[in-house]
Chain A
Amino acid sequence: NAGVTQTPKFQVLKTGQSMTLQCAQDMNHEYMSWYRQDPGMGLRLIHYSVGAGITDQGEVPNGYNVSRSTTEDFPLRLLSAAPSQTSVYFCASSYSWGPSKSRGYTFGSGTRLTVV
């Protein structure tokens, strides 16, 4: 089924460890982004990309790196995990350089990350 696929669904890290959250879409969307969702707070934008080779920072980029070598994939790297990065991470994509008028963003099902 077409959509946004995120892996893994759950992850526990120790403080200081690094890891990569995977995001792949098969809809040929140019725009991809990463959000984090914390209790009592809205989804907050971490990084986004408007096409292969082009990335930019969002609202909360510190501690995260991204790259976009293909249209399909947009991995999020945690360089040195901290407890403050415990959150649920969502990848989202769209045809256009922002949310689609008719479909908004298409979200993945999320990765729940716990840093101990």
Chain B
Amino acid sequence: EDQVTQSPEALRLQEGESSSLNCSYTVSGLRGLFWYRQDPGKGPEFLFTLYSAGEEKEKERLKATLTKKESFLHITAPKPEDSATYLCAVQASGSARQLTFGSGTQLTVLP
């Protein structure tokens, strides 16, 4: 059974204080790992897709990395507008039409 565990559940940072969010996964053949951002009362918004260990993707203050067992979302010098819940999801080779999601990390960036 595919599993995704995200940590920490919640993270509070001061503006400018860099940190990382973790996504550990167990999947029978990774087809893709996805990161989403979700604002309160909104649907998830796509950020990145990673496909193979060693791959990195960047967008503004966010950088996602991937190993064979986990992915990290690094947030550099965050701003209050980066506050959101960040979701990780995996797509397994055997179930290419669906994603298995983690429960998310709620990030709060204080001014």
Interface residues of A (CB under 8 A from B): 4, 31, 33, 35, 40-45, 48, 50, 58-59, 90, 92, 97-99, 101-110
Determine whether the beta carbon of B36 is less than 8 Å from that of A110: no
Known: A42-B100, A98-B96, A99-B91. A90 touches B34 (CB 8 A): no
State A104–B4 Cα separation when bound (angstroms). 17
Q: How far is the CB of A93 from chain B (nearest CB, A)?
A: 11
State A4–B46 Cα separation when bound (angstroms). 14
Shortest Cβ-Cβ A-B pairs, 5 listed = A107-B43, A42-B101, A104-B46, A43-B101, A98-B97
Determine whether the beta carbon of B4 is less than 8 Å from that of A106: no
Specify which of A31, A97, A101, A108 is in contact with B49 (CB 8 Å cutoff): A101
Specify which of A41, A59, A106, A110 is in contact with B103 (CB 8 Å cutoff): A41
Determine whether the beta carbon of B87 is less than 8 Å from that of A43: yes
Interface residues of B (CB under 8 A from A): 4, 32, 34, 36, 41-46, 49, 87, 89, 91, 96-104
Determine whether the beta carbon of B46 is less than 8 Å from that of A110: no
Which A residue's beta carbon lies closest to that of B99?
A: A99
Q: How far is the CB of B68 from chain A (nearest CB, A)?
A: 20
Determine whether the beta carbon of A106 is less than 8 Å from that of B46: yes
Determine whether the beta carbon of A102 is less than 8 Å from that of B101: no
Determine whether the beta carbon of A42 is less than 8 Å from that of B104: yes
Q: Looking at B41, B44, B45, B102, which has the most chain A CB atoms within 10 Å of its CB?
A: B44
Determine whether the beta carbon of A42 is less than 8 Å from that of B46: no
Determine whether the beta carbon of B98 is less than 8 Å from that of A33: yes
Residues of chain B within 8 A of A40, CB atoms compared? 103
Specify which of A35, A45, A106, A109 is in contact with B42 (CB 8 Å cutoff): A109
State A104–B99 Cα separation when bound (angstroms). 10
